[in-house]
Amino acid sequence: MRRELNTTEQHFATTRSEAQRIIEEARDEEKSNLTSQTIDCKNNKYGEFYVVTLKFTFNTPKDIMAYE
């Protein structure tokens, strides 16, 4: 049996407010599954940008074994 336990997503944003909006939308869509979020400010020769990292946890091995 194969089950997805967790997944990590990364998103690009040009402003901090846009990055925060991405997190708010993820909280609304995946209420109990969002376990971690970070906003990293980065710079390169083209300017400043933000990388939003979201971690979703769907199941734990203990939960799967208890219900199966």
**So where are the chain's domains?**
6-62
Would you identify the CATH topology of the domain 6-62? Dodecin subunit-like (3.30.1660)
> What is the arithmetic mean of pLDDT over 21-29?
91
Name the token pair of 56.
């979703």
The share of the chain scoring above pLDDT 70, in percent, equals 93
The span from the CA of 31 to the CA of 61, in Å, is 20
pTM across the whole model: 0.79
Query: How sure is the predictor about 58, in pLDDT bands with cuts at 50, 70 and 90?
Result: confident
The span from the CA of 54 to the CA of 10, in Å, is 6
Mean pLDDT rounded to a whole number for the chain = 88
